[in-house]
Amino acid sequence: MFSKSLLFIALLIYQTKCELKIFDPKSCELGTLVKEIESYDGVVKKILDYTVSGPFKGKTYDELAKFVDKFGARPSGTDVLEKSIDYMIELTKKEGLNDVITEEVKVPLWERGEEKITMLEPREKDIALLGLGKSATTPPEGLTGEVVVVRNFEELEGISEDKIKGKIVLYVPVFTAYGETVTYRSQGASKASAKGAIASLVRSITPYSLYTPHTGSQTYADGVVPIPTAAITLEDADLITRMYDKGEKVVLNIKMSSKLDENKISRNTLIDLKGSEYPEKLVIVSGHIDSWDVGQGAMDDGGGMFVSWAAPVILKRLHLTPKRTVRAIFWTAEELGLIGAYAYEKAHRNESDNINFIMESDEGTFAPLGLAVSGTQKARCIIAEILKLFKSINASTLVEENSPGSDIAIFTGNGIPGASLHNDNGKYFWFHHTEADTMNVENPDELDLGAAFWTAVAYIIADLSIDIPR
């Protein structure tokens, strides 16, 4: 069992590794199971035809658009999040799926207030920003300080405390991969505070910017003074860096306010399509329903939630009932620390042996390419064989990943086999945690492919004659 703090830090780096490790199935020996898996080719075609070119064509996109346009951003602990959960329950029941329950979860509500940064020297300029999750506030008049620019934590450690004390640390890491760069967002404030800084800023964790700051989670380490922390745009970070490197003194005034209430109640949502032979055994498809307070949360993670919603709906419509139960879960309060997933794992710990396979889509719903899979060699062999059925849509790649997804890494870390959606998400971090996360990012045809792929994979795993081995 992972500790919560260590796992959360690990999960912050789950997305976009430097190199993908593609699984080689040449050593797999599955015997008669190969023929059994091949026999699902007709079911795959049926689901693909129904979803991509039949009656369900455009349905996932249309329902997602209605949802995000109606509710917009859905931060943890807000009334709008709870209303969006009620909406999804009613939408699901209209499809004839009545095995829908919710489970209460205590969650935080962090409300962003006034945020303003003004450059005072060497010239006056407003700096765009987004405060990071649970950031500390400034006094009403703000904090004014000189900027110290650092490119990495090693450089920070090499600077004496007297040169950091009372100043503002600006981290300017160049985006390489999300997993390598995000630590400056998640841990930067703590490390700067430990050296005596009064505030910390980070160059937004993205490879591309049209003057868009990117928010996200950060945590204060034990024993450090919480200091205000925010992300600024690539453009402003690079401007300040150029000034700093020329020896100019850069002075900023930072004003940030926020409120934090740790005692709100939200809900995980569970939708079951009961299995015909082993209803107690579960194949879980999932995405999170909450979002940051900017944009519409269409990409992160409205799309992932809706392809997971679509799976039991499509199977119900096609009268396809697998041997095991297909359970769709909409996790709550993912963005502020995987809170819904932790609550579910704790509440259902005595049933964990019944989770046959767990899936999550939380890295975009662009064109599906396959799955990123955690599990034993035998488990990966089985999933690789299933993915061969999706060569026609170019979704047959299996990426070996020890910690796929965000919420589900809690479960795969305990030995439960699982997978996240591997998709063509090269532009995912262009929009991630910004005002630009809107329906304009989504593509109807790609959502159709994703919903069909997600549904068919879940059905096959849930219907196989054997469990996925651990």
Residues 408 and 360 in one domain: yes
Distance (Å, whole) CA 170 – CA 258: 21
104 within some domain: no
Q: What is the CATH number of the domain that holds 159?
A: 3.50.30.30
The domain in which residue 378 lies consists of 4-99+274-463
Distance (Å, whole) CA 305 – CA 321: 21
In this predicted model, what pLDDT tens digit does every residue of 131-165 receive, in sequence order? 999 999 999 999 999 999 999 999 999 999 999 99
List, in sequence order, every residue forming a beta bridge with 121; answer none if it has no partner: 251
Task: Give me the number of domains the chain comprises.
Answer: 2
470 within some domain: no
Residues 338 and 428 in one domain: yes
108 cis-preceded (ω within 30 degrees of 0): no
Residues 251 and 375 in one domain: no
Distance (Å, whole) CA 193 – CA 136: 12
Domain stops at, among 259, 286, 317? 259
In this predicted model, what pLDDT tens digit does every residue of 324-370 receive, in sequence order? 999 999 999 999 999 999 999 999 999 999 999 999 999 999 999 99
Residues 119 and 165 in one domain: yes
| Residue 334 annotated as catalytic | yes
pLDDT value of residue 19: 73
Instruction: Give residue 184's Cα distance to chain centre.
Output: 18
pLDDT bracket for residue 418 (50, 70, 90): very high
Average pLDDT over residues 363-390: 98
User: Given a cut of 50, is residue 241 above it in pLDDT?
Assistant: yes
Other C-beta atoms closer than 10 Å to the C-beta of 29 total 8
Residues 89 and 215 in one domain: no
In this predicted model, what pLDDT tens digit does every residue of 101-123 receive, in sequence order? 999 999 999 999 999 999 999 99
List, in sequence order, every residue forming a beta bridge with 423; answer none if it has no partner: 368
178 within some domain: yes
Domain stops at, among 197, 226, 259? 259
- How much of the chain exceeds pLDDT 70, in percent? 96
Tokens at 392, concatenated: 């026609």
Residues 90 and 122 in one domain: no
Residues 390 and 412 in one domain: yes
In this predicted model, what pLDDT tens digit does every residue of 280-325 receive, in sequence order? 999 999 999 999 999 999 999 999 999 999 999 999 999 999 999 9
Residues 15 and 149 in one domain: no
298 within some domain: yes
pLDDT averaged over the chain? 95
Residues 225 and 365 in one domain: no
403 or 14, greater pLDDT: 403
Residues 94 and 138 in one domain: no
- Three-state secondary structure string covering the chain: CCCHHHHHHHHCCCCCCCCCCECCHHHCCCCCHHHHHHCCHHHHHHHHHHHHHCCCCCHHHHHHHHHHHHHCCCCCCCHHHHHHHHHHHHHHHCCCCCCEEEEEEEEEEEEEEEEEEEEEECCCEEECEEECCCCCCCCCCCEEEEEEEECCHHHHHCCCHHHCCCCEEEECCCCCCHHHHCHHHHCHHHHHHHCCCCEEEEECCCCCCCCCCCCCCCCCCCCCCCCCEEEECHHHHHHHHHHHHCCCCCEEEEEEEEEEEEEEEEEEEEEEECCCCEEEEEEEEEEECCCCCCCCCHHHHHHHHHHHHHHHHHHHHCCCCCCEEEEEEEECCCCCCCHHHHHHHHHCHHHHHHEEEEEECCCCCCCEEEEEEECCHHHHHHHHHHHHHHHHHCCCEEEECCCCCCCCHHHHCCCCCEEEEEECCCCHHHHCCCCCCCHHHCCHHHHHHHHHHHHHHHHHHHHCCCCCCC
Residues 199 and 291 in one domain: no
User: Given a cut of 80, is residue 184 above it in pLDDT?
Assistant: yes
Give me the amino acid identity at 383. Answer: I
Place of tokens 């819904």: 340
CA 51, 297, 221, 134 dihedral sign is: negative
Q: Which one of 115, 334, 345, 401 is the catalytic residue? A: 334
Residues with Cβ within 8 Å of 286's Cβ and at least 6 positions away in sequence, in order, are: 304, 308, 328, 329, 330, 331, 358, 359, 360, 361, 407, 408
In this predicted model, what pLDDT tens digit does every residue of 211-237 receive, in sequence order? 999 999 999 999 999 999 999 999 999
Query: Which is nearest to 380 in space by CA: 393, 389, 371, 390?
Result: 371
Domain stops at, among 259, 294, 323? 259
Q: What is the CATH number of the domain that holds 407?
A: 3.40.630.10
pLDDT value of residue 12: 42
Query: Which is nearest to 310 in space by CA: 73, 82, 58?
Result: 58
